[in-house]
């Protein structure tokens, strides 16, 4: 049953992020960002109860606390070496951020401009290459713009479909980017050449808005659906259990 209560853009984004872990089974969910964190916890409480969650540091947790609250049930210790083992075995679905992302899903979190003399120094490559070559990696972009969605990233941190193909079978064997979620819509790479496709629009957003905010030509189907509406129980969980302080609205303010 759909909700009769109006959901905010941030809440649509939460549900879209949660859907990334639908049917994932017993894998480690690693969300980065407020909205993805709420989304992973919503998935755990609803349609993906087998998901594994952590406290963000080194503990597997058995309960599903609100964002910013301390877990009360600890199920196990997840030291860094074991975390890396899960990554290498593909038993994790991470949702990372992206300072830049291009049409084939190459992601940049390292620098803006030429690597030898960058205009801006960012986080560095970090674990992005290993993530993208070994376990499903989705992306969350809270502010969709041509600065983020670019024709070609300045440096490849997370490996996109074209880069993986160029590297050969060792890179493509477990490489998968299920989706990219932004404050405007949901995107995937289900196209013949693995270029980015608009899969759904968040309510209130138009195709023209998405195109104007994207620095390359998106694949846009003739009929683009809207992102699914949050159920009444999902809204209750988001508002009363998972994010009673409304932190989601700071990451995606109401338009």
pLDDT above 60 for 167: yes
What does the pLDDT average to over 192-196? Answer: 98
The two tokens of residue 125 are: 């490559």
pLDDT of amino acid 56 = 84
pLDDT in tens, 83-95: 778 888 888 999 9
Residues 59 and 72: their CA atoms lie apart, in Å, by 11
pLDDT of amino acid 246 = 97
What does the pLDDT average to over 90-113? Answer: 96
Residues 97 and 176: their CA atoms lie apart, in Å, by 16
Tell me which residue has tokens 């049917």. Answer: 23
pLDDT above 80 for 4: no
CB 71 within 8 A of CB 116: no
pLDDT above 60 for 250: yes
**220 compared with 127, residue with greater pLDDT:** 220
pLDDT above 60 for 2: no
Residues 105 and 47: their CA atoms lie apart, in Å, by 27
Mean pLDDT in the chain? 94
Element (H, E) at 166: helix 161-167
pLDDT above 80 for 3: no
C-beta pairs of 197-206 under 8 Å, 24+ apart in sequence: 197/221, 198/224, 199/224, 200/16, 200/224, 200/225, 200/226, 200/227, 200/228, 201/225, 201/226, 201/227, 202/9, 202/12, 202/13, 202/16, 202/226, 202/227, 203/9, 203/12, 203/227, 203/229, 204/9, 204/255
pLDDT above 80 for 255: no
Domains and CATH numbers, the chain: 9-249 (3.40.1080.10)
CB 55 within 8 A of CB 28: no
pLDDT above 80 for 1: no
Least confident of 42-56, 121-135, 230-244: 121-135
CB 162 within 8 A of CB 104: yes
pLDDT in tens, 26-82: 999 999 999 999 999 999 999 999 999 999 888 999 999 999 999 999 999 988 888
Residues 252 and 197: their CA atoms lie apart, in Å, by 22
Strand partners of residue 107: 101, 158
């Amino acid at each position: 049953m759909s909700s009769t209560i109006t959901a905010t853009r941030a809440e649509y984004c939460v549900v879209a992020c949660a859907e990334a872990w639908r049917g994932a089974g017993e894998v480690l969910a690693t969300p980065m960002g407020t909205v993805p964190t709420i989304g992973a916890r919503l998935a755990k409480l609803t349609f993906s109860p087998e998901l594994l969650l952590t406290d963000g540091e080194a503990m597997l947790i058995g309960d599903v606390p609100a964002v910013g609250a301390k877990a009360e049930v600890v199920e196990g210790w997840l030291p860094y070496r074991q975390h890396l083992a899960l990554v290498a075995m593909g038993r994790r679905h991470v949702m990372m951020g992206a300072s830049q992302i291009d049409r084939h899903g190459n992601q940049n979190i390292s620098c803006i401009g030429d690597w030898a003399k960058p205009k801006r120094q960012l986080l560095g490559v970090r674990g992005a290459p290993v993530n993208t070559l070994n376990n499903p990696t989705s992306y969350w972009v809270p502010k969709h713009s041509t600065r983020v969605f670019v024709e070609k990233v300045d440096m490849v941190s997370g490996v996109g479909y074209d880069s993986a193909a160029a590297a050969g079978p060792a890179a493509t064997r477990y490489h998968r980017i299920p989706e990219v979620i932004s404050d405007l819509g949901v995107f995937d790479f289900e196209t013949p050449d693995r270029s980015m496709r608009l899969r759904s629009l968040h309510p209130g957003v138009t195709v023209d808005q998405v195109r104007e905010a994207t620095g390359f030509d998106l694949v846009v189907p003739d009929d683009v659906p809207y992102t699914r509406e949050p159920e009444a129980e999902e809204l209750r969980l988001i508002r009363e259990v998972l994010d009673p302080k409304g932190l989601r609205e700071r990451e995606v303010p109401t338009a």
